[in-house]
């Protein structure tokens, strides 16, 4: 059964693309607007898939996350009830979508978000939520 929807993140919008766009933007307001735009590009998860069993613990907002492995690569569907979190999920998906387990496990979330200059602008609970999402992804993809 296919549970993962097609997403532009990881394919048409890569982690490198995200870094280039964010480094070009100046000021938190511009970056915030860009996050909201990316959030709009994140495909919505079907309400029939959203359940407590797939919610990510440790997030201030509700976040649902599913993973599916195909030919050694991982594909994700994720959604949130918060617009800014949807954009942050897109950033994470750009780095993890279609990657192998070892590529995902070695993903340096702190370094990635440091390069994006985002963590300093997020509340501590949002930062912890991002870490919880990445931790859940790494846990799901361990071999």
Catalytic residues: 59
Helix (H, G, I), strand (E, B) or coil at 56: coil
Helix (H, G, I), strand (E, B) or coil at 141: helix
Give dist(CA 80, CA 39) in Å, integer.
9
Report helix, strand and coil shares of the chain as percent, to nearest 5: 50, 15, 35
Please name the residues in contact with 30: beta carbons below 8 A apart, sequence gap of 6 or more: none
Give dist(CA 7, CA 63) in Å, integer.
17
Q: Which residues pair with 78 in a beta bridge?
A: 65
């Amino acid at each position: 059964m296919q549970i993962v929807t097609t997403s532009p993140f990881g394919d048409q919008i890569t982690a490198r693309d995200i870094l280039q766009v964010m480094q070009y933007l100046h000021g938190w307001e511009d970056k915030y607007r860009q996050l909201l735009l990316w959030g709009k590009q994140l495909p919505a998860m079907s309400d029939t898939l959203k359940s407590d069993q797939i919610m990510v613990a440790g997030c201030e907002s509700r976040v649902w996350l599913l993973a599916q492995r195909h030919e050694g690569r991982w594909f994700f569907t994720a959604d949130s009830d918060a617009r800014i979190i949807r954009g942050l999920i897109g950033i994470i998906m750009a780095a993890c979508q279609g990657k192998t387990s070892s590529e995902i496990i070695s993903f340096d979330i702190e370094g990635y978000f440091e390069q994006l200059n985002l963590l300093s602008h997020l509340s501590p609970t949002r930062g912890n939520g991002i870490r919880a999402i990445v931790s859940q992804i790494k846990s799901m993809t361990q071999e």
